[in-house]
Structure 1
Amino acid sequence: MAPLLAVCAGYFMVILDVTIINVAVPVVGRELSASLTGIQWITDGYTLVFAGFLLTGGALGDRLGNRRVFCTGVVVFTASSAACALAPSAPFLIVARLVEGLGAALIVPGSLALLQQAYPAAAARSRAFGLWGSMAGIAASAGPLLGGLLVSTVGWRWVFLINLPVGLACLVLTLRQVAPSPRRAGRVLDWPAQCLVVAAVALLTAALNEAGRRGWSDPAVLAGLGLSATAVVALVTRERLARPPALPPRLLRSRAMSGGALIGLLFNFGFYGMVFTASLDFQHQRGYSALGTGAALFPAVAMTMFASVLSGRLTRTTGDRPLVICGMLLAALGLAGWAAAGAAPAYPLLVLPMMAAGFGTSFALTGSTSTVMGAAPEAYSGTASALFNTTRQIGSATGVALGGTLLATAADYNAGTRLSMAIGALAYLTAAGLAWRCVPAKPARPQRSKGHA
């Protein structure tokens, strides 16, 4: 249990910091005299670095040892959180947030790899993956509630200070309870490819973030998408020549690996798009406070822990495929129910749709995580974890960007919300179809490494 607590504590901090800043940033802007651009960088700089360096963090973990890189990430994240809390100016806070994002990128890939190492038995591993996954939904949805509480009581700096005791406990638990990971000194990192990955993901994430504010036809958004596509083309060309490549083609050709990663993109698209549009609906249309919005989203959060525990137990008898399919269909039904509820439905009518989306997403996450990690050779467990989490971050950014665009361009606010929910339901249905083809019926056993391949 101790390895699970250590890893989940680190992962919880990382995801919490994506959303907890949202309710604090207006106060931060006033106190530090930040410009609008500065406020945007305080919010988005962390996400850009986090998403961009995930694959680099995974590759470093595979080469230097996942526990070593994970602990390094915890130290970097905790120290930069302290710097954020003590920031005397907006530029200082922006730089500290960028470093915090780098620490997050070192933590997340190693978290899944360490769980796979600590729980080799399929049943125990599935339960651990389920609890790990539930941390994302809980942290992301609890962020606005916790942030609003801290800002209104002890001040915005405590949004970052709360990471210090959590980071310290995570580091001590990991060093004491998690076994050292193997180092593969012969594994050569392809730095040009890693730089292209960082450029492609960061540019894509930036473009998606800006699309929600500026619209999809804005020149800056189009330039970001074009440059990201150019980096992808250059990366593919580089990977064909590199020995060894950063992402081995046999991994990407694996139906379980690529399909599981795409499923992760789709359900993050649906879930975080729902959380974003629901948050705006509750605050702008219904007049809820930040605390009230967090409380209103609680039904979706409450289901994630229950669903992850249940799916971890059921997978021993049912296998992964039925759970992923059922979870995606239930989540699709929830968002479709919201879309069909009509204009400005009463809040009680939205409770069941939110519960269905939260339950279904978390219920499917265990199986999709097991699918991706089970398809990866042991020597590439960090890279596989990074690939899975990178696609999920892209899904989250796309869901939020599209939701923002629909709310800004629809005939009215309620119509934009319903359309966003309908598109999210379609994404969940697509994920269910992919799961039928790509997710093995039984949990996959992690592949043993053959040399340093």
Structure 2
Amino acid sequence: MDRNRSRWPLTLALCGGYFLVLLDVTVVNVALPQVGSDLGTGSSGEAWVVDAYSVPLAALLLASGAIGDRLGHRRVVLLGFAGFGAASVLCALAPAIGVLIAARAVQGVGAALMLPGTLALLVEGAPDESSRARLVGMWAAIGGAALPAGPVIGGVLVHVAGWRAVFWLGVPVIVLALVPVARLPRPHGDVRRDGSVDWAGAGLLVVGLACLVTAIVQGADPVWPTVLLALIAACLAVAFVVVEGRTTHPLVRVPEQARGALVAACLVAGTMNLCVLGGLFLLTQLFQVVHGLDPLTAGLATLPAMLPLPLLGTLSGRLGSRIGVWRTSALGLLVSAAGFAGIAYCVDGAGYVTLLFFLALWGSGLGVLTPAIVSAALAATPDSPGTASGASNTSRQTGGALGVAIFAAVAGSPADSGFIPHSIGLFLGGAVVFVLAGLLCFVSARTPARAGSALVSSR
């Protein structure tokens, strides 16, 4: 009992760090209109406030896990905490949009260093499998609560103290979390030093993704920088595939027979975050700029869409054990597609009660989909759960970064006359994409399942 009690500060610190990593994906959304007004930037600048964080987070997740294995997760998590905290202070004090975007990028690097190590350190000291499962469940539940909490916490902070308070939020959490992590004993012989980190692959992934997002945000005016950046991103993607195929320590090592299932799971996971985070970005603009809601009310207005995510995990697990993870994923996608279509119908003036129903429908589908598609990725490579988890998380964060960029670029400024019709088209497009992803899941369900039901039921 004494030993368990002594681990509680460390457990709270690591779960708190994971919560902050995911919270910062969405907490800034309701602050964006104030940021744009205060720092004099438009929708593209606001999109970069989100994507400057998401791009390095997505691109460095796989490499940071390998770095932790080689150098020790304690050291890497401490570095991530310190970098995230320092960048949060710089974000809060940023005098110009360029400084804020640069600080957000540093935040994203710190977040990528933190995320894999928080789980690794959490389970290292677990005395048995039961304790390990309980700790993993707690870690996942706290992280799952970050997405619905983000718009609400951001709305309260912006309403009470302005947009800079959103970034001050993480500073005391990081300071308190550093203490129990720093008190962990330094590892000696248990740190693996027989491998190497694929720095070339990690660098190509970061630069290529940054070029792709910049090309999307840049738009077609003028057209030549967009084309150049897109060509560079394509070349870097080819180079990444070549480097990964030749290195002895690739960022992702997947058995050939598992590649199809893992690629399908990652494609669906990335598509999910692309449409969800892009949709949240648009909803923030619609609620605050178009309909004139204050930040707190706007944050609360998104709650029906986000609240089902941490609440429907058990239902998703039961469905997965009965009908399989792929069919459960397909069901979630189709329910969310109906929600997307309903939101499109409500954008141009329907009452909030109607919108609330479709937001809840959208979120309920996501609550069923999210655990199922993660379990589908894990089932693809049951002998390498770390690889599957890293690939799935990278796909989701990459999809989120691209989603914000695409939705912001296509919708344009909320002040433009085309914003409403473009938003309707984007939500309808999200519905179509989700239906197509559902069909992909049905096709994948026809291949022999290896461990999907067991994985889902254990979540």
TM superposition score normalised by structure 1: 0.80
How much has 1:268 moved relative to structure 2?
Answer: 0.9
How much has 1:91 moved relative to structure 2?
Answer: 6.2
Moved more, 63-72 or 428-437: 63-72
For residues 257 and 172 of structure 1, do their structure 2 counterparts lie closer, same or farther at Cα, with a shift above 3 Å needed? farther
The residue that corresponds to 2:392 in the other structure is 388
For residues 277 and 24 of structure 1, do their structure 2 counterparts lie closer, same or farther at Cα, with a shift above 3 Å needed? closer
Whether the aligned pair in 2 keeps the contact of 1:402 and 1:420 (CA below 8 Å) is no
Query: Aligned partners of 1:312 and 1:129: how far apart in 2?
Result: 17
How much has 1:332 moved relative to structure 2?
Answer: 1.2
How much has 1:300 moved relative to structure 2?
Answer: 0.8
Q: Which amino acid aligns with 1:323?
A: T
Query: Aligned partners of 1:255 and 1:189: how far apart in 2?
Result: 25
How much has 1:429 moved relative to structure 2?
Answer: 1.8
Q: Which amino acid aligns with 1:338?
A: I
Whether the aligned pair in 2 keeps the contact of 1:126 and 1:312 (CA below 8 Å) is no
Say whether residues 1:267 and 2:276 are aligned partners: no
Say whether residues 1:436 and 2:442 are aligned partners: yes
The 3-state SS of whatever aligns with 2:192 is coil
- Cα shift readout 1:94-141 (whole Å, capped 9, x = no counterpart): 5433322210111233456667876967986995586266235324xx
The 3-state SS of whatever aligns with 1:254 is helix
Tell me which of 99, 103, 113 is aligned to 1:96: 103
Whether the aligned pair in 2 keeps the contact of 1:251 and 1:376 (CA below 8 Å) is no
Tell me which of 277, 284, 291 is aligned to 1:286: 291
Q: Which amino acid aligns with 2:359?
A: M
The residue that corresponds to 2:112 in the other structure is 105
Tell me which of 34, 59, 62 is aligned to 2:66: 59
For residues 127 and 43 of structure 1, do their structure 2 counterparts lie closer, same or farther at Cα, with a shift above 3 Å needed? closer
Whether the aligned pair in 2 keeps the contact of 1:318 and 1:442 (CA below 8 Å) is no
Whether the aligned pair in 2 keeps the contact of 1:216 and 1:222 (CA below 8 Å) is no
Moved more, 264-273 or 80-89: 80-89
For residues 43 and 366 of structure 1, do their structure 2 counterparts lie closer, same or farther at Cα, with a shift above 3 Å needed? closer
Q: Which amino acid aligns with 2:452?
A: K
For residues 285 and 161 of structure 1, do their structure 2 counterparts lie closer, same or farther at Cα, with a shift above 3 Å needed? closer
Q: How does 1:23-34 map to 2 (within 5 A)?
A: 23-24=30-31
Tell me which of 199, 210, 213 is aligned to 2:207: 199
Whether the aligned pair in 2 keeps the contact of 1:308 and 1:366 (CA below 8 Å) is yes
- Cα shift readout 1:127-177 (whole Å, capped 9, x = no counterpart): 5586266235324xx33x433432343344422221123224545566789
Say whether residues 1:346 and 2:351 are aligned partners: yes
The 3-state SS of whatever aligns with 2:251 is coil
How much has 1:343 moved relative to structure 2?
Answer: 4.0
How much has 1:366 moved relative to structure 2?
Answer: 1.1
How much has 1:87 moved relative to structure 2?
Answer: 5.2
Moved more, 292-301 or 8-17: 8-17
The residue that corresponds to 2:402 in the other structure is 398
Query: Aligned partners of 1:375 and 1:126: how far apart in 2?
Result: 20
How much has 1:74 moved relative to structure 2?
Answer: 2.4
The 3-state SS of whatever aligns with 2:235 is helix
The percentage of counterpart residues that share the same residue type is 33
Consecutive unaligned residues of structure 2, counting only runs of 5 or more, are none
For residues 326 and 226 of structure 1, do their structure 2 counterparts lie closer, same or farther at Cα, with a shift above 3 Å needed? same
The residue that corresponds to 1:185 in the other structure is 193
Consecutive unaligned residues of structure 1, counting only runs of 5 or more, are 447-453
Query: Aligned partners of 1:182 and 1:296: how far apart in 2?
Result: 49
CA RMSD of aligned residues (A): 4.0
Query: Aligned partners of 1:6 and 1:309: how far apart in 2?
Result: 26
How much has 1:359 moved relative to structure 2?
Answer: 1.8
Moved more, 383-392 or 354-363: 383-392
The 3-state SS of whatever aligns with 2:312 is helix
- Cα shift readout 1:360-396 (whole Å, capped 9, x = no counterpart): 1122111222232454477771x54332222212222
How much has 1:197 moved relative to structure 2?
Answer: 1.7
Query: Aligned partners of 1:149 and 1:260: how far apart in 2?
Result: 36
For residues 58 and 392 of structure 1, do their structure 2 counterparts lie closer, same or farther at Cα, with a shift above 3 Å needed? same
The residue that corresponds to 2:168 in the other structure is 161
Equivalent residue pairs, number: 438
Query: Aligned partners of 1:47 and 1:391: how far apart in 2?
Result: 11
Q: Which amino acid aligns with 2:77?
A: F
The residue that corresponds to 1:149 in the other structure is 156
Query: Aligned partners of 2:278 and 2:147: how far apart in 1?
Result: 12
Query: Aligned partners of 1:78 and 1:438: how far apart in 2?
Result: 42
Tell me which of 137, 148, 151 is aligned to 1:138: 148
Say whether residues 1:74 and 2:81 are aligned partners: yes
